[in-house]
């Protein structure tokens, strides 16, 4: 008999990510991540699927995270990173068998290995200060009482904490000897590196302007023999995901020139080295070429770089559209169209060497991420792995029902309704509204554990993509900017009205609302502007834009980008759009969940709201999660993730 889904079942889920075909197409490496209950952490292992025998073999074992598998150009070796010895180092394993060889052994994490075309070197990333070196034998210890000197606005980052002068530098690693050579030294982050096919040049992204808080990420080409740098973009955009064409004459990448600040769709770009010309290939494509899905059940996802065809006439990338992600083909002439766009969350892919199809990691609404084989031109996908099969077979999984409606100002809003797991005709059920973060993200046709838990507890769940969400074009994603708590609030409330009007099993007197980050802002805003909700749970939220400006790692530019107001130019607008201003109106019982190491929405946002409501005698409770960052719900400690779900479900159980 199938069981109802429980909060702790999140430890049963496996994440299948980052598929990588071997050069001959006979093997398919990928990463499978699971919860290690004993250590309250995650174990990630390199798995290899044999395309001829259709059998999977596990290539790494033990505890820790083994990630980023990359085949050598001749297919004889597989490089990957592993933190099995505390820090993340690069290992190489021969495909003929044997133990993995530790290639790097330094006191700093080494990540993102990429092979040189001749197979003799790896180009990797290491975070270093100006006084640290890949030659160091011991990592400098930082005493608890050591003062932190701050002279930059970018001194901290969520999930990383205080940077303490560390920047991502690029290093060469010689495969045979393990010798390492640092090739960048500027005190800026150098990311998204790629080798040219000739091996004489590399490309990477960095902000090398005079101001380290300048919100740009340019593309650079470095000639290795001389160290000469050439900037390929105009110091006005944010770019990443670099990939050379097979002949080395072109470089493809993704990004935008901030026309709508961080609400701008990522586009496909190409630099032609012979013409010395930069071109946006998808100017007319109203699709975000990235993975914008908001979820809680995928750990370790990796956005693939543009995958060129052998003839160099185009490449494949992931695109976000209409509640799904798929594979888009982009030609060098600017032709762009989807080759795979189904109702699913396709979070990674690898092009077959013979270019007849793809291997893709895909999550479905009723089945967490697995590896699939997709023939080019065919809709049907063949599942290759069964990492989550037992979980799916043993549990009652609610199937989301899609809907859409037109807003009062003529927009179309897309969403889903999930019935309670034990739904019975004729009974009335509470309804919980979920609001995603971002706001420039998207709920999708994907498994979402939190929703399944709430459905298993006997609630219907509605979740929608209001204006500001990705997946519905540039105008739609931009409409929230300058209007937080306006049209977006109308959209989510209209969703509640829509499902109530079309489903008589919803009890209008038992409505709940929850969300995190921007969704937490919207929860706070909602309870200050309507008493329709009988219970609310706000997570990692924003309550006061005035203080957010100075305490968030992104506050000093995000408030201007999103609210259209700077603290010193229009403080009244920041306060008017702050849920804290309306605390006296709140009558809804409110549970506040917040991580103590959240640098994106620092915990003072929760403290201010809690203090105000408690002083006024409101029904409010604050739960603090020690050492948890903004990503608690997605990649936090498993025990804390379970506790979080228990708090959410328990609050709604008590009040609905």
Residue appearing with tokens 């969520």: 158
| Tens digit of each residue's pLDDT (9 = 90 or more) over 313-333 | 999 999 999 999 999 999 999
DSSP per-residue letters across 78-101: EEEEEEEESEEEEEEEETT--PPE
Please name the residues in contact with 1: beta carbons below 8 A apart, sequence gap of 6 or more: none
Say what the pLDDT of residue 330 is.
98
pLDDT in tens, 88-129: 999 999 998 889 999 999 999 999 999 999 999 999 999 999
Judge whether 572 lies within some domain. Answer: yes
Tallying the residues shown for the chain, one arrives at: 656
Radius of gyration over every alpha carbon of the chain, rounded to an integer in angstroms? 25
Give the per-residue pLDDT at 518.
98
Residue 529 sits in a domain whose CATH number is: 3.40.50.1820
Residue (of 272, 264, 242) closest to 254 by Cα position? 242
Q: Among candidates 546, 399, 534, which has minimal Cα distance to 460?
A: 399
The residue range of the domain holding 401 is 396-655
Instruction: Tell me what pLDDT residue 45 has.
Output: 98
Q: Burial, 393: exposed, middle or buried (Cβ in 10 Å; 0-12, 13-18, 19+)?
A: exposed
- What phi, psi does 42 have (nearest 5°)? -125, 140
351 CA to centre of own chain = 22
State the pairing for strand pair 357-364/259-262: unpaired
> Could you give the number of structural domains in the chain?
1
Residue 235, in any domain of the structure: no
Measured from the Cβ of residue 120, the count of other Cβ atoms closer than 10 Å reads 15
Backbone torsions φ then ψ of 608, nearest 5 degrees:
-65, -45
In a domain, 300, yes or no: no
Spatial distance between the Cα atoms of 562 and 566, rounded to a whole number of angstroms: 10
Tokens of 230: 């050439």
Residue 372, domain member (yes or no): no
- Low-confidence spans in the chain with pLDDT less than 50: none
- CB count within 10 Å of CB 431 equals 25
Q: Are 392 and 2 in contact (CB under 8 A)?
A: no
Model-level pTM?
Answer: 0.97
Q: Which residues contact 53 (CB under 8 A, 6 or more apart)?
A: none
Q: Is the Cα dihedral 76, 80, 84, 85 positive or negative?
A: positive
Give CA–CA dist 600/582, Å, rounded. Answer: 23
Q: Which of 160, 152, 222 is nearest to 187 (CA)?
A: 152
527 inside domain: yes
Q: Is 324 a catalytic residue?
A: no
In a domain, 355, yes or no: no
Calpha distance 606→632 (Å, rounded): 15
CA distance linking residue 371 with residue 354, whole number of Å: 19
Q: Which of 630, 633, 637, 655 is catalytic?
A: 630
Closest CA to 580 of 528, 522, 513: 528
Q: Is 377 left (phi over 0), alpha (psi -120 to 50) or beta?
A: left
List the Cα angle 162/629/30 in 5-degree steps. 100
449 catalytically annotated:
no
pLDDT digits (tens, 9 = 90+) for 21-77: 999 999 999 999 999 999 999 999 999 999 999 999 999 999 999 999 999 999 999
Taking the C-alpha atoms of residue 624 and residue 465, their distance in angstroms, rounded to an integer, is 28
Cβ count within 10 A of residue 624: 14
DSSP characters over 231-256 = E-S-SS-EEEEEEE-TTSSEEEEEEE
Q: How far apart are CA 460 and CA 603, in angstroms?
A: 30
> Buried b / exposed e across 37-74, counting CB within 10 Å, b at 16+?
eeeeebbbbbbbbebeeeebeebbeeebbbbbbbbbbe
Cα-Cα end-to-end distance for the chain: 28
Q: Which of 517, 547, 552, 578 is catalytic?
A: 517
Cα 63 to the chain's mean position, in Å? Answer: 24
Given a contact cutoff of 8 angstroms between Cβ atoms, the answer to whether 361 and 344 are in contact is no
Q: Mutual orientation of helices 518-527 and 487-502 as an angle, nearest 10°?
A: 80
- The answer as to whether 347 is a domain residue is no
What's the token pair of residue 130?
């100006």
**In contact, 51 and 75? CB cutoff 8 Å:** no
What are the two backbone dihedrals, phi and then psi, of residue 287, each rounded to the nearest 5 degrees? Answer: -135, 140
How high is the pLDDT of residue 411?
97
How far is 606 from 310, CA to CA, in rounded Å? 53
Eight-class DSSP state of 531: -
Query: Cα dist. 208→172, 241, 243 in Å?
Result: 21, 18, 20
Residues pairing with 340 in the sheet: 327
Is there a domain that residue 573 lies in?
Answer: yes
Tokens of 475: 């105008």
Rounded Cα gap, residues 121 and 16, in angstroms = 28
């Amino acid at each position: 008999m199938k069981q109802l889904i429980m909060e702790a079942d999140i430890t049963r889920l496996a994440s299948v990510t980052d598929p990588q075909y071997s050069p001959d197409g006979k093997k398919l490496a990928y990463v499978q991540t699971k919860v290690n209950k004993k250590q309250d952490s995650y174990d990630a292992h390199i798995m290899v699927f044999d395309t001829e025998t259709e059998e999977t073999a596990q290539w790494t074992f033990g505890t820790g995270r083994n990630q980023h598998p990359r085949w050598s150009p001749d297919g004889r070796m597989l490089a990957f990173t592993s933190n099995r010895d505390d820090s993340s180092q690069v290992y190489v394993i021969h495909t003929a068998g044997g133990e993995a060889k530790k290639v790097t052994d330094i006191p700093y994490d080494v990540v993102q290995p990429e092979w040189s075309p001749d197979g003799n070197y790896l180009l990797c990333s290491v975070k270093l200060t100006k006084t640290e070196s890949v030659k160091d034998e011991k990592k400098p210890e930082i005493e608890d009482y050591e003062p932190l000197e701050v002279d930059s606005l970018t001194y901290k980052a969520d999930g990383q904490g205080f940077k303490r002068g560390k920047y991502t530098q690029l290093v060469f690693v010689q495969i045979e000897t393990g010798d390492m050579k640092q090739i960048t030294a500027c005190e800026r982050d150098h990311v998204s590196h790629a080798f040219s096919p000739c091996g004489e040049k590399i490309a990477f992204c960095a902000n090398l302007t005079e101001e380290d808080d300048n919100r740009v990420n340019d593309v650079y080409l470095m000639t290795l023999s001389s160290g000469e740098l050439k900037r390929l973009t105009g110091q006005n955009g944010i770019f990443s995901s670099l990939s050379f064409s097979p002949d080395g004459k072109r470089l493809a990448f993704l990004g935008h020139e901030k026309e709508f600040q961080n609400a701008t769709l990522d586009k496909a770009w190409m630099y032609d080295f012979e013409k010395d010309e930069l071109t946006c290939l998808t100017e007319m494509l109203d699709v975000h070429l990235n993975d914008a899905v908001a979820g809680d059940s995928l750990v370790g996802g990796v956005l693939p770089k543009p995958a060129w065809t052998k003839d160099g006439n185009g490449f494949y990338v992931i695109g976000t559209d209409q509640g799904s992600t798929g594979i888009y083909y982009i030609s060098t002439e600017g032709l762009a169209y989807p080759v795979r766009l189904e109702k699913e969350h396709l979070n990674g892919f690898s092009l077959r060497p013979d270019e007849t199809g793809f291997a893709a990691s895909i999550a479905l609404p009723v089945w967490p991420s697995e590896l699939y084989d997709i023939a080019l031109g065919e809709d049907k996908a063949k599942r290759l792995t069964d990492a989550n099969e037992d979980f799916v077979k043993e549990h009652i999984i609610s199937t989301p029902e899609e809907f859409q409606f037109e807003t009062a100002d003529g927009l179309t809003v897309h969403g889903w309704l999930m019935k309670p797991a034990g739904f019975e005709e004729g009974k009335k059920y509470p309804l919980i509204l979920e609001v995603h973060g971002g706001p420039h993200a998207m709920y999708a046709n994907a498994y979402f554990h939190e929703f399944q838990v709430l459905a298993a507890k006997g609630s219907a769940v509605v979740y929608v993509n209001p204006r500001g969400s990705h997946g519905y074009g540039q105008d739609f994603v931009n409409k929230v900017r300058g209007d937080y708590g306006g049209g977006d609030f109308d959209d989510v409330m209209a969703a509640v009205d829509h499902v109530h009007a079309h489903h008589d099993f919803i009890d209008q007197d038992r409505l709940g609302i929850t969300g995190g980050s921007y969704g937490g802002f919207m929860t706070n805003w909602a309870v200050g502007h309507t008493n329709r909700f009988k219970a609310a749970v706000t997570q990692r939220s924003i309550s006061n834009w005035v203080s957010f400006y100075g305490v968030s790692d992104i506050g000093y530019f995000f408030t201007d980008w999103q609210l259209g107001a700077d603290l010193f130019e229009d403080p009244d607008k920041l306060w008017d759009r702050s849920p804290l201003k309306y605390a006296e109106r709140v009558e809804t019982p409110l549970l506040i969940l917040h991580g103590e190491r959240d640098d994106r929405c620092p915990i003072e946002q929760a403290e201010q709201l809690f203090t105000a409501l408690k002083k006024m005698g409101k029904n409010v409770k604050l739960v603090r999660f020690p050492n948890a960052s903004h990503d608690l719900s997605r990649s936090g400690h498993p025990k804390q993730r379970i506790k979080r779900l228990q708090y959410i479900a328990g609050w709604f159980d008590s009040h609905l």
